[in-house]
Amino acid sequence: MSTASSHPRQILSIIQQGNSSSMAISRTIYNTLQSIHQEKLNGRTPIQALFDELQGSDFEFEYQ
């Protein structure tokens, strides 16, 4: 769901439908999504991660 750009409240709604006793709140979902995002960056800035992705692919690019 995070890759589908779902909003935390949408994810929370689906969780609560499946588990009405869930203690999660929108902020819990938001924080989890941010943790996943930071983990994917692996200590890099978003631009550094983009450059790494581009260099590892068949895209041709130039930067200054």
User: Is 32 within the bounds of a domain?
Assistant: yes
User: Which among 5, 28, 25 has a CA at the least distance from the CA of 16?
Assistant: 25
pLDDT tens, position by position, 12-24: 999 999 988 889 9
The predicted model scores a pTM of: 0.69
Mean pLDDT of the chain: 89
Q: Which domain holds residue 34?
A: 8-55
CA dihedral 52, 53, 56, 60 (to 10 degrees): -100
User: Is 12 within the bounds of a domain?
Assistant: yes
Scanning the structure block, which residue is given the tokens 């819990």?
28
User: Is 63 within the bounds of a domain?
Assistant: no
- Residue 3: per-residue pLDDT: 62
What's the domain count of the chain? 1
**For residue 2, which phi and psi values (nearest 5 degrees)?**
-70, -30
User: Is 49 within the bounds of a domain?
Assistant: yes
User: Is 34 within the bounds of a domain?
Assistant: yes
